[in-house]
Amino acid sequence: MEYWSPLLQTILWVILVGGITWKFYRPIYSLLEALADRVRGGSDVTAGPFSVRGVQPTPPSEQAARASEEIKEAHLIAQSDSEEQGSTEPSPRSAPSSTPTPQFRAQYFQAEDLALRAVQAEFGEPINRQVQMGGIATFDGAFVKSHRLNVVEVKYWAKAPTTPIAQQVFAKLLSRFKLVTFKSINIIFVAVVDRTSDVPSLVARLTKLSDEAPIPTVVRVYSLSELQAKFGVVDAG
């Protein structure tokens, strides 16, 4: 009996664990699925010492590199005859001013900041700015609402781009989501333009693109002057 006792105890433990697993299989499975969805959705999950963070801040060096690239692209569009030619390349007469000025760079950052403020005010959730998903894809902002991760991407265009350029920008944005395995994602695509008159036509073009996107996408378009007045950068009067 002395030799059989440990074996019997082991068998009883196996039966007990197996019985609990069989009886509570569905609740346990649902709990694990919910946990996995939150992780894939980018939410922070903490349970005692266990912590998973789906979204992390982008390192400053990467922020600077990405900002420089986007500012250059925006400046090329602003300095080109893209409305007539349908090209992202600058026209010959714009070549001498192909380097973004400090004023243009400052305006770009102001447009991005004010756009994120507007989205935060509309959706009522604090936005984590300059985030990285899965250590790979970077975005201007992100927040969680109703158990879904909302990714915010802002583009400043001094003048409204042509449809081919807008399509190219959308394709580039969507390609970044192929690098991550997150689910339950919404995209909030925000465009800021200088001229208020550009807003209606750009809304129509971007909405058409967002309707065709494989990820749920909403579009917001603002004029820079509208945002400046709304948040007190200039006198609203």
Domain that holds residue 183: 57-230
Q: Is residue 50 in some structural domain?
A: no
DSSP E strand boundaries for the chain: 45-47, 50-52, 55-57, 128-133, 137-145, 148-157, 185-193, 217-223
pLDDT number for residue 78: 84
**Looking at the structure, do residues 15 and 108 belong to the same domain, yes or no?**
no
DSSP E strand boundaries for 53-201: 55-57, 128-133, 137-145, 148-157, 185-193
Q: Is residue 46 in some structural domain?
A: no
**Looking at the structure, do residues 185 and 113 belong to the same domain, yes or no?**
yes
**Looking at the structure, do residues 104 and 79 belong to the same domain, yes or no?**
yes
How many other C-beta atoms can be found within 10 angstroms of the C-beta atom of residue 218?
Answer: 16
**Looking at the structure, do residues 161 and 103 belong to the same domain, yes or no?**
yes
Q: How confident is the chain (237 residues) per 10-residue block, as mean pLDDT?
A: 64 71 64 54 42 68 91 86 42 55 93 96 93 79 87 93 91 83 83 95 95 94 95 76
**Looking at the structure, do residues 35 and 140 belong to the same domain, yes or no?**
no
Angle at which helices 102-123 and 60-79 cross, to 10°? 110
**Looking at the structure, do residues 183 and 86 belong to the same domain, yes or no?**
yes
Number of residues assigned to the chain: 237
Q: Is residue 48 in some structural domain?
A: no
**Looking at the structure, do residues 99 and 137 belong to the same domain, yes or no?**
yes
**Looking at the structure, do residues 116 and 17 belong to the same domain, yes or no?**
no
pLDDT number for residue 88: 43
pLDDT number for residue 141: 93
**pLDDT tens, residue by residue, 85-130:** 444 444 444 444 568 899 999 999 999 999 999 999 999 999 999 9
Domain count, the chain: 2
| Residue located via tokens 């922070």 | 44
Query: What CA–CA distance (Å, rounded) separates 97 from 90?
Result: 10
Average pLDDT, the chain: 79
**Looking at the structure, do residues 101 and 195 belong to the same domain, yes or no?**
yes
Q: Is residue 236 in some structural domain?
A: no
